[in-house]
Structures are given as structure tokens and as C-alpha cells.
Amino acid sequence: MSNLIQSPTRILFFTGKGGVGKTSAACATAIGLTDEGKRVLLVSTDPASNLDEVLGVTLTSAPTAVPRVPGLSALNIDPEQAAHDYRERIVGPYRGVLPAVAVASMEEQLSGACTVEIAAFDEFSKLLGDEAATAAFDHVIFDTAPTGHTLRLLELPAAWTGFIDANVGGTSCLGPLSGLDAQKALYAASNQALRDPAQTILVLVARPDRSSLKEAERTRAELAQLGVGNVRLILNGVFRARDTSDATAVAMEARGRASLEALPEGLRGLARVDVPLLPFGLVGIEALRKMGTFDEAAGDAPPTPDALPFHGASLDSLIDELAVQGKGVVMTMGKGGVGKTTVAARVASQLARRGFDVTLTTTDPAAHVEQAVRDLSGGAASLWVTRIDPARETARYTAEVLATAGADLDAAGRALLEEDLRSPCTEEIAVFRAFAEAVAEGEDRFVIIDTAPTGHTVLLLDAAESYHREVLKKPSGSPEAVQRLLPRLRDPLFTHVLLVTLPEATPLHEAMQLERDLARADIKPFAWVVNQSLTPLQVTDPVLRMRRAHEATHLRELAAHATKVVLEPWSAGASPPLVVTPAAASSLVQGAPL
């Protein structure tokens, strides 16, 4: 039985940087509790949930029994389904009562990305704050999206409670904010449950690497500011080389040891469980039962490696193709933790090295792109690196709206407008606008965009389509960058999407789903990048040999699926210093705003 969490509370959250094993740890804990006879509800809040694949069952937004695990049910909070239900709850009572045009107007007001966020949060709050909704279960375990998205979710109970308390003008009587006031008690209960150590444990999951541990520490600090103090730490994938003649194994162990020696002070005080790097993927019930209980010394004999399915192209050759255009947008997309930021930083640094003007930016709320560039450059301040900062963009957007739409309003009208702009929805709109402006800069230079993990990116693309529909209706009221956003993203000569994955089942299949989501928006990926692969390396350590053999299955699947694939070998992180030409260096400013 898994022993990842001792003395678990009724509510458990698992969060951390993308790809660290949050879903595996949440599932292993849930299975361990049900093996003790407990009834457990496992909930994914990730818009790109992979619970279905990991548990081997098709899930919906209602609790579904997991086969072969008596007592365990699971569900996915589906943002689109939640938005549909939320709209119907508000609009439904007026059908047949109000004129059709009035009902259509209400539906239109409820069609945006803000409604999706509110509706998903509403479903999350029911499971967290309404004990009656989960009375059939002894434990409720939340498998969350990567950190940035989750911190946003955890901030919302307080944000919406504050907004409702301050909303005295009634601007929320129509549109996506309608119906919030009725939920006030629920949001307050959610807020309380999060902060009560007797009710909730929040589990930080991290890998023994520097960026993952830094993000865990940043999350711990932000959680402390939110009043969430009952925090544990799981270190997943701790590796010990069994064959010291294997250079890759030795380097991997040394990197992990160095990261743990530099463990941030705030994490040292947390209760901690170390989980060894397993020689197999954590897909399926029996594999999950081994997480936290696997005996390294009793590892299975390594299988005979399969023949390599393909060798793949190099990232340098891919950059040669990108450079031909001389400008445009390159976006790295994929599941959290697959190395999108590293790939984006490498593409940006290589293009800058060739003398092109390059901006490297990010839409990830938990951005660490500047750190990645510093790693590449050896500390040199030599690249134009920007970040779409939600707080700054919200302030900029608010000032712009008040200076334009609010300019001719009387005092009462301006007060209502200001009240509306204090809604948490304003941040979503402001960040989207900044994203559109970043894409527009690709008309004059290379813009490399490191996107947030898949779920957040899908919501961003949905927002692009939603805004595009609005633009077609009212083109004169939108900035040029917003008007042309979707056409630019759809132009294969202007935008090049790189789908980044690891040679593992879950990140590969999540990227394939993202590819289908992109096709829905009429956007076609330029290439796939398989990152941190052991396949090109000669490894002799038994754990690494088994992991290398497991890669073959996934690489064969991708080879049959995609035409342009880059295979990047596992690396301890050592990269050549960034060098740019004097002409390029003079135009690059680190940390400059958009």
C-alpha cells in the first residue's frame, strides 16, 4: 500500500510544477486509502486532465467508479461542460418568458472565457465547500493543474468573496457574473476549508531538480500568504546510480544530489517523502500501487531493448528552417514539465546568435523563462526577455478602459464601470490582450512564446476563438492586435507551433489531444520535439536501460503519427554560453516590458 501521506485530512490537494508526478501521487494516495477501506473521491481540476489514461477509465464531470479499486470514484471538472450548465442555470428560467432576442443577448454575454473560469470555479467550490455534496466519501483528493493555474484557482475563493462583498452597484446582475451572489456562503466555506489545517493538507510534489524545487518553494510562500499552512512535500524521482560506469547515470544522480543540497530553506521544514525514480511508467492501477512502495533493490530485470524506431531530426536543423522566414512567431506547447521553456530559450538564443531581433516571452502564470535563459547564457544579460505579468496588464487595461469608455460617463456610471473592472474576470481579458499584442510583434521580429501547460493554453485558444467571433460582429471596437490574432495564429508562414513532449505515454497523448484542439482552431503544428530522451544515449544502468526500452513503444507511436520529429537527448542541463552579435546585443534588453 502507498504510504505517501501520513494521517491524511479529509481534503487533500496535490500541486506542483508540470510533469513532476502530481497525478501519479494523487492516484497512488487515493488507491492506498481505498485499500484501507476508505471511500475516496478523486477530482481533477486540470483542463487537460489525464486521470482517464492513468486510471484506465473514461471519466465525466460526475463521480465514476474506478474498476478494480472498490471505494474509489473519480471525476474531471470539465470547464466547457461547467460553463454550459452555468449558462443554463442563469438563462433557462427566462426561456419562453422573455423575447427570444433578449434570451439570445443573455447567452451572448455568457459565451466568453470569463464565464468558463467562473463556472469551473463554481464546480470546484461545491466539492470543496459543500460537505453535503461529498458526504458519501471519507476523503476528497484534488489533482490540480500545474502551479500557476492552481494558485489562480486557490486565490479565487477569497477574490470572489471580496468582490461580492464590495459589489454594491449591481453590475453583476447580467452577464457572466450573474448568479454569484447566491453562492456567497459557498465561496466563504471554500475559503475556510482551504485554510483549516484540520480539514486540508496541501501536498507539494517536486522533482529533485533546481527549477522544480524553486517553484515548490515559491508555491509554499504564496500558499502561506493565502493562509494555507498545512503543507507536505513529496520528492518524486530521486535517482541513485546502480552502475557507476554509466556516465549518464552518474550525471543524473549528481544533478539530483546537488539540487537537494541546495534545497530552499522554506522546504526543509516540511514533512517530506522521497520516492525513487521508477524503471517504468505510472499508468495503470498496479503500477500506481508501487509508487511509494517500490523496492529499488528488487527491480525487475531489464528487458531487451527494441530496435530504434527512428533517429529524429536535430533542433539546430529545425531552427535553420525557422530562420528562413526572418521574423514571425514560434510557440512551444505541451504538458507541463516536458521542457517547453528550455526549448523556447534554445530557439530564441540560436536565432539571436544569428543576428535576428528576438523577443522571448511567456504566457505561463508560473513563468520561469528568465531562469531558463540565465541557465543558457551562463548569467549573461543578453536577450530581450519579457513576461506577461497579470497584475501589470490588469492595471494597464483598467486605466485604458476608464480613459476611453469611462471618459464621458457621469459619476454614477463611472462608479459602476470601476466596480465591473474590479472583477477577477478583468485579469483574463487583460492577459489575453497582452498575448495578442505579443503575437503582433512578430510582424517585425521573431517572437518566441513559451506557453503555459496544456490546459491553460487550450483555454487561451478558446478565448482567441471567442474574441474572434466578437471581432467579426464589432470589428471597429477592438484593437488591431486582437482583430488579427486568430488569422495570424492560423498562418503557417507566420506562426510555427512546436509540440514538445517526453518519450512517455501521458505527455505524448496529452500533446496529441492538444494537436486535435489546435486543429479545431484551424492551427497546424510545425514540428514535434521529443525532449530528454535516453534513446540516443548508450546507458548501462539497469533503471535507465529499462526506461530507455519503454521509450521505444512511444517513439514508434509518434513516428507513425507525425512527419517532422526532433529527438533531443537527456542532458544534465549544461548548455553552451549564449553569444549574440554586437548588432543584436545592442537591441536586446533583459526584462524590458512589452
Catalytic positions, written as ranges: 19, 21-24, 46, 506
- Please give the Cα distance from 43 to 289 (Å, whole number): 18
- Cα–Cα distances in Å, from 195 out to 22, 157, 227, 435, 449? 21, 11, 6, 33, 35
- Please give the Cα distance from 142 to 130 (Å, whole number): 15
Phi, psi of 575 (to 5 degrees): -135, 150
- Please give the Cα distance from 68 to 502 (Å, whole number): 29
- List beta partners, residue 50: none
Q: What is the CA radius of gyration of the chain?
A: 24
Phi, psi of 312 (to 5 degrees): 80, 160
- List beta partners, residue 360: 385, 448
- Please give the Cα distance from 267 to 233 (Å, whole number): 8
Mapped onto helix, strand or coil, the DSSP state of residue 234 is: strand
> Environment class of residue 416 by beta-carbon count within 10 Å: exposed (0-12), middle (13-18) or buried (19+)?
middle
Would you say 109 and 176 are in contact if contact means Cβ atoms under 8 Å apart?
yes
Crossing angle between the packed helical segments 100-109 and 79-91, to the nearest 10 degrees: 150
Mapped onto helix, strand or coil, the DSSP state of residue 557 is: helix
- List beta partners, residue 567: 530
Here the cell at position 137 is 466519501
Would you say 84 and 116 are in contact if contact means Cβ atoms under 8 Å apart?
no
> Sheet harboring 495-501: ordered strands across?
384-385, 358-362, 446-450, 328-333, 495-501, 527-533, 565-569
- List beta partners, residue 135: none
- Please give the Cα distance from 464 to 456 (Å, whole number): 12
Phi, psi of 289 (to 5 degrees): -60, -25
| Closest alpha carbon to 152 in 226, 203, 86, 81 | 226
- Please give the Cα distance from 156 to 163 (Å, whole number): 10
Would you say 53 and 505 are in contact if contact means Cβ atoms under 8 Å apart?
yes
